[in-house]
A and B are shown apart, each in its own frame.
Chain A
Amino acid sequence: MWGRLSLDALPHDMITIGGVVGGGLALLAAVAALTYFKKWRWLWTNWLTSLDPKKIGVMYLVVATIMLLRGLADASMLRAQQAIFATSDAGPISSDMFQQVFSAHGTIMIFFVAMGALFGLLNLIVPLQIGSRDVAFPMLNSISFWLFVAGMVLMNVSLAVGEFSTAGWLAYPPLSGLEYSPGTGVDYWIWSLQIAGIGSLLSGINFLITIFTLRRPGMTLKKMPIFIWAVIGCLLLVAFAFPILTATLSLLSLDRTIGTHFFTSTMGGNPMMYVNLIWAWGHPEVYILVLPAFGIFSEIVPVFSKKRLFGYTSMVVALMAITILSFTVWLHHFFTMGAGANVNAFFGIMTMVIAIPTGVKVFNWIFTMFRGRVTFATPMLWFMGFVVTFTIGGLTGVLLAVPGIDFQVHNSLFLVAHFHNMIIGGVLFGFFAGVTYWWPKFTGFRLHEGLGKIAFWCWLIGFMLAFLPLYALGLMGAARRIDGYDASLGWQELFVVAGIGMLVILVGVLFQVLQVAYSVWKRRELRVGSDPWGGRTLEWSTSTPIAEYNFAQLTPVTHRDEFWEQKRPGHNKQAAPALTSIQVPKNTSLGIVIGMLAGVIGFAIIWHIWWLAFVCLVATIVTVIVATLREDTERIITVDEIVETEKRLRGATS
């Protein structure tokens, strides 16, 4: 009846039990608070069933933040183990658990933090920046979000019921095959990624179509804000890389459940096929994460330098070049496969080539600052930190691109240091900058500057302390993913330094939490208008708080930095079209229903509860059919209501 599921699936060791109890208590506290303050209906109608991208975006960011905290907790355990206990056998973390922790850390940080933050920002910013009222398919957007949540829940359920994968964040076979990982861990990994991945794919389609069909009249491709160009690159990669992930995970899952032989080492299977496929998705994925960060910085630098972006066209060309090139380098993740000198040379050269457009972008940002009136607000600090860390990471990346060197440092901590340099320094700093920058647009108040700056310096110094030693350790021969090493190797001092770096980062995170809490508390004093930074693009032209329909009139656009031009004296204002009534989508619970069903399907397949999977699959199909048959999905906002809303919102800010 219940497949593989039994009471044995509950956790046994103290650390996991602690995590489960802690998480459970936090959840219970949230439920209790919602009940006590009678906020359930508010939560349901204002948030969970809403189709407003501004709200879906906030929900994405909330989930990503919570997952960031979990990912950091995992990282702290890894650092503690390697710094303190690795030379003895007596540490609190067993080998098996250590493997689960690093697998979970990587999976969570990429899929549920970075991807969550990415789609959160896309939801918040893209419709506003292109001067649109909504995304192309609002209901699909909600379904994407709830699939993301379903994957996230499944991932965290593995803590309480069963186990997580021990095969690393990309689960290479044959280790992830049935023979070496017979438990449920790899299945949890597969299905949480599969469900969230389908959500990402649908979002990718949705936002690309949004950008291509819903731009403000007059906003030609060459007048689009640069962030939108970066997002187009990112979304093209989502659309063309995520299907590969879907296929690959399906094949691995078939190997594990119905006994196929795609990636087994026997019966004609080929494990390296998996490695090729997963990196054909995985390398573009890296750029899916970092291109939006490039876009964010390209918005921030001109605003805080009071200059227009240097080299817009070259920036666009660079973005598109990276988009295309990112599909031609996947093999550099496994030069040691033995594809031969010529193949390795090709991929090595392509990898070095991709550094050129990236370098172009760095110079463009710096030239934007040159002779500008630069203010060093927190977003700008994150940018400066990014340039330094990202350049270091880029340089070590070019080193790794040389196959000969790669053979030496392959699978070592040198590599770990390199990609953390790119992902923390590039992606994470970018998202922190973006959130700080756009925060006042959606809340009406700034984040506290002083606390933000302390947090930044902790992150930057902590990052250097935590990861620069790993380069040295990697060159000294320390492999990645080790939970123990011989004391005579003399590695411990460097690991201790890295551990201290982790502590400094944690202090930085503490200051970020403080910053948000303090800013919410002091929101009256930190209150700002609708355009606190002197913005250049359309999102700053709306009132704050933003009306549900974003813009009352869709006035044609004439400039690239449209809002900046509008604010200049002597600007010829375009005649605004007359107000008309606006259609907005009604709330619907279909997204949350489909998300829940998908989560249960995943859980049922993991535990081999086939009847439950089948029932939920049928229910999902029925729900989808019902969703497509729905009529009366729109609500009309009349002209009178718009006039009144505008008066109220504009009055509130002026």
Chain B
Amino acid sequence: MSTLALRDLKLLNFKTNSGFWLYLMTDCILFASLFATYIVLHGGTAGGPTSRDIFELPMALTETIILLTSSFTCGLALLALRQENLKQLVVWLGVTYVLGIAFLTIELTEFSSLIQAGHGWQQSAFLSAFFTLVGTHGLHIFIGLLWLFTMVIVLFKRGFTPKLKRQLGLFALFWHFLDLVWIFIFTVVYLMGVMPS
């Protein structure tokens, strides 16, 4: 019976992991559509500011470093999970969480300063596309943080269940994926945005 249960668990893990991978691919297409829209509408400034006028590289670079670090700490958390070391796991997940919050805070600060300067999403197609692309990534980060939060609570309540282990693994995938998307945002939106034409 125990070998059967083990086989069932393996199949379940396999199903869930492949399903999540496929979901990430679909999310990839979603971002690809937004990237395409951004690139097409990049020049549609309608007399408003261009990307060179408003983007600040130091801020974007800070965001990048924070998010990359959070991916690293997320990886450390996964190592702690392998060893079932509860204390380390919680510490690294906590650091990941705080870094995620920091990232979101900087992003929202950037958004609000743009809006206060009169460069909201209503001003031009370029700004609409910018807010939507970067905002969608931010929304994903927010959902990830929500997910992480509930998992930590479950971790305290139920300990290392197979289900929780599986979910933490999926979360790590999700988090690295968002990192990857951010690299593209950093490159396409910020770096290429401030390049002299």
Contact = CB atoms under 8 A, between A and B. Distances in A.
A201 B126 CA distance: 29
A524 to B, nearest CB: 42
B25 interface: yes
Contacts of A580: 4
Nearest to B18: A209
Nearest to A204: B26
Contacts of A583: 8
B192 interface: no
Given A251-B132, A270-B41, A242 B46 contact: no
A268 B126 contact: yes
Contacts of A270: 40-41, 44, 125
A243 interface: yes
A312 interface: no
Nearest to A248: B33
Interface in A235-255: 239-244, 246-248, 250-251, 254-255
Contacts of A262: 37, 41, 125, 128-129, 132
Tell me the dominant secondary structure on chain B's binding face.
helix
Interface string B99-136: 00000000000000000000001111110110110000
A29 to B, nearest CB: 41
Given A136-B15, A209-B19, A251-B132, A260 B30 contact: no
Contact of A267 (B15, B37, B125, B154): B125
Interface residues of B, number: 41
B44 A205 contact: no
Query: Which size class do A's interface residues fall under?
Result: 35 or more
Given A209-B19, A239-B25, A261 B4 contact: no
Nearest to B146: A621
B177 to A, nearest CB: 14
A266 B46 contact: yes
Interface string B144-179: 001000100010000000010001000000000000
Contacts of B194: none
B184 interface: no
Contact of A137 (B19, B33, B40, B48): B19
B41 to A, nearest CB: 6
Interface string B23-36: 10111111001101
Given A240-B26, A247-B34, A580-B4, A625 B150 contact: yes
Nearest to B121: A260
B18 A267 contact: no
A454 B128 CA distance: 56
Given A246-B30, A251-B132, A268 B15 contact: no
B79 interface: no
Contacts of B132: 250-251, 254, 260, 262
Given A242-B26, A259-B121, A629 B19 contact: no
Given A244-B30, A260-B131, A625-B150, 16 more contacts: A136-B15, A205-B19, A205-B26, A208-B22, A209-B15, A243-B30, A246-B30, A247-B33, A259-B121, A260-B128, A268-B48, A268-B124, A269-B44, A270-B41, A277-B33, A628-B150
5 contacts: A214-B15, A239-B25, A259-B121, A261-B122, A267-B123
